[in-house]
Amino acid sequence: MSPVFHTRFASVSLHGSDRIQFLRFPPALYSPLRAIIQSTWTRGIQLEKASTSLLDIQLKGNPWGIHKDNPEGLGLASLRSAFVRDPEGETIHAQRLICSLLKTLHGEGWVLMQSTDVSQVLWDADTLLFRHQTPAPTPHEWFSVVFQYNKFRFVDAPRGLCLRVLKHLLAQKLEMKFKDHEKVEGCYELKFTGTMRRGSPYLDPVMNTGTMKTRMMFLDLLGCIEESGWTLYASVEQNTRGDENGMTDTWYCCRPVGWAEGNPVYHN
């Protein structure tokens, strides 16, 4: 009699402004996950609780933002201090943190099945559901892109890819400009510069006629990404600010190391 096939599942979830939980991952992964967090989130770890089924980490700072309803009960002085710190810089490093965690788990055979909002708590962000596979996928390289108010922000993407996206969107009659981030190396921004009402394609009622033009813009963006061998691996809502000036989802993209132009692109 052949053995019963058994699949392992686990999750990563984001809570409040600063917590991340790893549920049902093997304890042998706790050390590499902790090392990734400490190397990419330079503010460090504030508190940690671990058991055989759960690793619960509270980070220093506010990687997931501060919700407008202030669920943490912070005093006015604490809120002022939080916003005086570089909130955009924290957001970029939070993107790098999630990207590094996805890369590490992917390399260990934990492949994302779905990111979903399963919490009724207003200031919780997404839960990421993973399935373990053997053998693990081949090594991949990664970048992220966030859609924030009136711009796309690429983190650790090839500069040439960003310029290709800009060229394509300009050809679609979208007014945009490209710039390097002033403070963070490896970060590029494509900013809308046209006369859209309120300055944002996500809020502009003219561009968002039936949201069709916005959807077409995202389809074009996907096309540009795949032409360079990348595929959209995850779309994660990781910001809990709860205001219209904040982010929408963050996309995490990957491609096999050594991919060459002309090779097929497979979704992982």
| C-alpha to C-alpha distance for 252 and 230, rounded to whole angstroms | 10
What confidence score (pLDDT) does residue 144 get? 97
Is residue 235 in a domain? yes
Is residue 126 in a domain? yes
Q: What is the span of the domain harbouring residue 173?
A: 9-256
What confidence score (pLDDT) does residue 78 get? 42
pLDDT tens for the chain, residues 1 to 268: 566 667 899 999 999 889 999 999 999 999 999 999 999 998 999 999 999 999 999 999 999 887 555 544 444 344 344 443 556 678 899 999 999 999 999 999 999 999 987 766 656 678 999 999 999 999 999 999 998 778 889 999 999 999 999 998 888 877 888 888 877 889 999 988 865 545 555 555 555 554 677 788 889 999 999 999 999 999 998 876 554 445 678 999 999 999 998 898 988 6
144 and 162 in contact (C-beta within 8 Å)? no
Question: Could you tell me the two tokens for 224?
Answer: 């540009």
Is residue 14 in a domain? yes
pTM for this predicted structure: 0.86
Is residue 43 in a domain? yes
Is residue 268 in a domain? no
Residue with tokens 């759960």: 54
- Strand, helix or coil for residue 234: strand
| C-alpha to C-alpha distance for 148 and 166, rounded to whole angstroms | 16
Is residue 3 in a domain? no
Is residue 28 in a domain? yes
Is residue 263 in a domain? no
Phi, psi for 105 (deg, rounded to 5): -65, -40
Count up the domains in the chain and report the number: 1
Please compute, for residue 80, the number of CA atoms within 13 A of its CA located in the half-sphere on the CB side: 3
Question: Could you tell me the two tokens for 119?
Answer: 């919490």
- Which amino acid would we find at residue 239? N
